[in-house]
């Protein structure tokens, strides 16, 4: 194999991690929400709000404040979702789609030149004129990790990335541990399977669902902010392009397990990176289109597998997913 080919493959692999991190962060949040029994179809909306907020706040105050602001925005969206679906027990599908539509609208509004300018000046009256008009923002810096960064291929994939990539991997492991090895995680999973029983056992079902949904909102928004400042720091309205829904599909593929979500995220990220590079090369115009379908085909195949009784018993959809809980 020629050196060019090797480099090309390496670039696809690195691209897979970079593109996949968006899916990973979002799906981690969604896993917690769904494990607790709340289906969050508002993921797409939460992501685009996260992207828009990080676009504005980065240009006003820099990355640190941007991420804080994004987390706050996600927290509010998560609270809104849980208030409507957990406290008021509204239909989760309707509420989720409403939040997605709302988010897309809000993202467009925030991205509007005049409004953006106003907000940036409000946040930081001394913001340089350039920051008020550009369609982009400063990208998160890469933080190469000494020694590890020099490992062939793996170094590029995992040790020469920005902080959010590292954070997403740590989060996946920590969230897996909490979910499966702690009392809180057991309560969370039990609430998603059988809220009435959990309630009788002294678990506060509403609290668990609020917490999970807020975590989901924060991570959804964070995924959007990574998409913008960590991956493609150029603002386009509707720039999430359905990635929120791919993250939902990924949750199914990962069978609600944070560690499996890592693999799935990089697989979906790899598809995105590959189709992008194939497009640049101009090979087989249909191939990229086909690749874009792939995540959904894999997801449908997973769903078919999950429909088998024998599989469902072992790794099933959380039994109370989508069902509001009320005490009799």
Chain residues in the site for another protein (CB under 8 A): 181-184, 186-187, 189-190, 193-194, 196-203, 313-316, 319
Query: CA 63, CA 70: separation in Å to the nearest integer?
Result: 10
Query: CA 243, CA 47: separation in Å to the nearest integer?
Result: 8
- C-alpha distances out from residue 136 to 18, 49, 84, 119, Å: 18, 16, 34, 16
Torsion from C-alpha of 244, 250, 252, 255, nearest 10 degrees: -140
State which residue, 70 or 261, has the beta carbon closest to another protein: 261
Q: In whole angstroms, how close is the CB of 328 to another protein at the nearest point?
A: 8
Q: In whole angstroms, how close is the CB of 300 to another protein at the nearest point?
A: 22
Q: Which two tokens stand for residue 116?
A: 């953006």
State which residue, 208 or 218, has the beta carbon closest to another protein: 208
Decide: helix, strand or coil at residue 234. strand
State which residue, 138 or 199, has the beta carbon closest to another protein: 199
Nearest alpha carbon to residue 111 among 243, 239, 244: 239
Q: In whole angstroms, how close is the CB of 206 to another protein at the nearest point?
A: 14
- C-alpha distances out from residue 241 to 85, 217, 230, 232, 263, Å: 26, 18, 16, 13, 21
State which residue, 197 or 284, has the beta carbon closest to another protein: 197
Q: In whole angstroms, how close is the CB of 263 to another protein at the nearest point?
A: 21
Q: In whole angstroms, how close is the CB of 307 to another protein at the nearest point?
A: 15
Q: In whole angstroms, how close is the CB of 75 to another protein at the nearest point?
A: 23
State which residue, 78 or 258, has the beta carbon closest to another protein: 258
Nearest alpha carbon to residue 137 among 230, 46, 224: 230
State which residue, 154 or 173, has the beta carbon closest to another protein: 173
State which residue, 130 or 314, has the beta carbon closest to another protein: 314
92-111 and 63-82 helices cross at what angle (nearest 10)? 150
Q: In whole angstroms, how close is the CB of 71 to another protein at the nearest point?
A: 24
Note the Cα 71 to chain centre separation in Å: 13
286-307 and 243-253 helices cross at what angle (nearest 10)? 40
């Amino acid at each position: 194999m020629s050196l060019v080919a090797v480099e090309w493959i390496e670039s696809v692999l690195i691209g897979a991690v970079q593109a996949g991190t968006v899916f990973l962060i979002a799906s981690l949040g969604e896993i917690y929400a769904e494990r607790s029994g709340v289906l969050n179809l508002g993921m797409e909306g939460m992501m685009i709000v996260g992207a828009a907020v990080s676009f504005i706040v980065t240009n006003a105050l820099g990355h640190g404040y941007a991420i804080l602001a994004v987390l706050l925005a996600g927290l509010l969206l998560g609270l809104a979702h849980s208030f409507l679906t957990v406290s008021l027990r509204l239909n989760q599908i309707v509420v989720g789609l409403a939040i997605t539509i709302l988010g897309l609208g809000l993202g467009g509004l925030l991205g509007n030149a005049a409004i953006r300018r106003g907000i940036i000046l409000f946040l930081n009256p001394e913001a340089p004129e350039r920051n008020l008009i550009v369609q982009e923002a400063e990208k998160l810096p890469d933080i190469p990790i000494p020694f590890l960064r020099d490992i062939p291929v793996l170094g590029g994939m995992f040790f020469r990335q920005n902080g959010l990539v590292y954070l997403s991997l740590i989060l996946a492991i920590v969230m897996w541990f909490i979910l499966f090895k702690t009392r809180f995680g057991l309560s969370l999973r039990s609430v998603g399977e059988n809220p009435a029983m959990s309630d009788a056992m002294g678990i506060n079902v509403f609290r668990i669902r609020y917490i999970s949904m807020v975590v989901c909102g924060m991570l959804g928004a964070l995924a959007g902010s990574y998409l913008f400042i960590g991956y493609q720091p150029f603002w386009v309205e509707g720039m999430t392009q359905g990635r929120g829904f791919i993250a939902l599909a990924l949750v199914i593929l990962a069978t609600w397990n944070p560690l499996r979500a890592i693999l799935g995220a990089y697989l979906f990220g790899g598809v995105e990176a590959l189709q992008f590079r194939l497009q640049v090369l101009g090979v087989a115009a249909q191939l990229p289109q086909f690749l874009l379908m792939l995540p959904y085909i894999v997801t449908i195949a997973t769903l078919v597998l999950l429909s088998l009784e024998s599989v469902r018993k072992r790794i099933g959809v959380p039994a109370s997913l989508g069902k509001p809980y009320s005490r009799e």
